[in-house]
Structure 1
Amino acid sequence: MEIIKIGMADLGVAHSPDRLRTTGLGSCVGVVLYDQVKRIAGMAHVMLPESSLGKGNETNIGKYADTAIPQLIKEMVAVGASAYNLTAKLAGGAQMFSFLGGNDTMRIGPRNVDACKAILEQNHIKIVAEDTGGNCGRTIEMDAETGILQIRTVNQGVKEV
């Protein structure tokens, strides 16, 4: 069994019995897709809601919800997953800092969650579990064998979904 580390603004795929892990999910969202039949898992560490927020011509596909999730689906299908069997789990999207006023641009965590949900809905992927929001960071680990997502938070311990 290998643990494949997914960095910030990165994505990756694992077959059973391997696992995927990402750390440092504050306002970022960990999107995990799973094909239970083929036991193939995919994970993206999404930093921002949409690629139009990028500067310059080069786009890091893993950084944005609107590019990372479609790319993750494509990579999973390329290694044998069925797009029709995919389900999703989300973690992260915290509001790490409190701001005075109602400036929506500072609500990156909630905006990331909303964007991920919208892209999943567009791709007809059902969200089967979610641990989003709040104000604490998370580390997540997905087991491609069982489909269990383990979520660790500093002040809440470990939970499995």
Structure 2
Amino acid sequence: MNEVVTIGMAELSCSSESALLRTSGLGSCVGVIIYQEGSTHAAMAHIMLPSVTISSNREHKIGKFADVAIPELVRQLRAKGAASYRLKAKIAGGAQMFASAGNEMMRVGERNVIAVKEQLNELKIPLIAEDTGGKNGRTISFDPTTHELTIRTVHLGTKVI
């Protein structure tokens, strides 16, 4: 059985060889996996908010915001020997957990997904697959040996992308 590295809310981590990367509690949060094709280099972040600029508290976990977490994932992967030009991404989460009634600030899930995609685009990392939106929470596990992302969605079952 593979070792499992659990990534908590607002955290990020790189895999150690064949360790599975797992995070749960993805409601409006987005799980971002960046990996190098043809290797076991992989990293995951559990992103809560789109941008550090919306926070008045400058002391925060680096995995909390899309605009700082994603560049940090890339930095850590490169430090472990990954080649930037071979990186790929998969994402899941970004659900609409609360009735928004037209309130833009309540559409956190959608704003998180947009911010994640903008960061990936800026860093020229192709988004290979996603399972985003909806109204249900998710738990995800990424296997760096197969590059499969297993997504368990509350009330909807499990799928692999």
Q: Is the contact made by 1:38 and 1:80 (CA closer than 8 Å) also made in structure 2?
A: no
**Deviation sequence 1:6-62 (CA, Å, 0-9, x none):** 000000011432110000000000000111222211100000000011123323211
The range that moved more, 35-44 or 117-126, is: 35-44
| 2:81 aligned partner | 80
Instruction: Give structure 1 stretches of 5+ with no counterpart.
Output: none
| 1:108 aligned partner | 108
| 2:131 aligned partner | 131
Q: Is the contact made by 1:66 and 1:116 (CA closer than 8 Å) also made in structure 2?
A: yes
Provide the rounded CA distance (Å) in 2 between the counterparts of 1:116 and 1:144.
20
SS at match of 1:63: coil
Q: Is the contact made by 2:29 and 2:95 (CA closer than 8 Å) also made in structure 1?
A: yes
Instruction: Give structure 2 stretches of 5+ with no counterpart.
Output: none
The range that moved more, 131-140 or 148-157, is: 148-157
TM-score of the superposed pair, with normalisation by structure 1: 0.96
Identity across matched positions, percent:
50
SS at match of 2:134: coil
Q: Is the contact made by 1:11 and 1:68 (CA closer than 8 Å) also made in structure 2?
A: yes
Q: Is the contact made by 2:39 and 2:145 (CA closer than 8 Å) also made in structure 1?
A: no
Provide the rounded CA distance (Å) in 2 between the counterparts of 1:41 and 1:49.
22
Q: How many residues end up aligned between the 2 structures?
A: 160
Provide the rounded CA distance (Å) in 2 between the counterparts of 1:117 and 1:99.
22
Provide the rounded CA distance (Å) in 2 between the counterparts of 1:113 and 1:99.
16
